[in-house]
Structure 1
């Protein structure tokens, strides 16, 4: 009899959690970065890292297609690991950080692909220009964060864009127009 009662209680518990509401998470700026990489004359693949992330991820484990992401990074935080290039990136001919201090991504559609993979389509805005892009995203983990004890979530996402589409076309085609853009993010429940 006790085993039957335990089974009923466990079933009730799991069916209640199956109808849990979507969870909203605040992006952790210390563990969220955008990394851009490109071809340099066909010889190497340099990178630039953007930090200063802000935003919200709302994830619905039961209905992931109803999830959404709104995230930004600070252009002023760019680090190319080459001082002169970092300085150029901040200027008017490149990102024009004074006029356009943030790059943003706001999702418009989330398509589950199975095995914690998603196609996330949204509006990417860089230097005042907005283009629709689709990012291939992977849910890395979800659960209680060991440090904060809050619920947390982490994703990686990647897409390829043309920088010239955003008005950044210096040295094309010698320095690659195609940019691999990768976002790694960690967020904690609000």
Structure 2
């Protein structure tokens, strides 16, 4: 009896040690990418990059095997004013007619403490790719209460320089540094 229990326990441990990573599809209705900057010292406006499309692979047992890849269509860029939206999409900034999307693809994922990750990856804007580091807080990994499928949610922050990506108009009086704040929810399909 003891040998049977010991064998069962060893198989259970071996099974959890080799748990497969889970692939999640980002939910664009519950994903926000917000950019915020300083405008001439007077205000701190923001813009929302909506309609995120992407895939997140999370391996709880081997975090370094995790990855994320996201595309942000600039047609969904929202500066909360039609006139400002037009300006942001113009050649002065994102040149959305020529470069219709921004993207991020992770190159490294590292554990950074309890429920924390550091995700390094390549951010591409206007055809220019630069490394960016995201500080990530894992909010929850569980079954989605309505859809009854595995789900994951996290928040992340990063700071980037606009001029690194060819969107540095009016710098430095309009801050070159932009704070990115991200929240997302994703489900296994």
Q: TM-score of the superposition, structure 2-length normalised?
A: 0.92
Corresponding position of 2:186: 187
5+ long unaligned stretches in structure 1: none
Corresponding position of 1:48: 47
5+ long unaligned stretches in structure 2: none
Once the two structures are superposed, residues 17-38 of structure 1 have per-residue CA deviations (whole angstroms, 9 ceiling, x without a partner) of 3321111111111111210000
In 2, Cα distance between the equivalents of 1:90 and 1:170? 13
Corresponding position of 1:134: 133
How many residues matched?
A: 189
In 2, Cα distance between the equivalents of 1:79 and 1:52? 11
Any conservation in 2 of the 1:49–1:78 contact (CA below 8 Å)? yes
Matches within 5 A, 1:100-115: 100-115=99-114
Is 1:20 matched up with 2:16?
no
Any conservation in 2 of the 1:150–1:188 contact (CA below 8 Å)? yes
In 2, Cα distance between the equivalents of 1:20 and 1:79? 40
* CA-based RMSD: 1.9
Matches within 5 A, 1:83-98: 83-98=82-97
In 2, Cα distance between the equivalents of 1:124 and 1:182? 14
Q: TM-score of the superposition, structure 1-length normalised?
A: 0.92
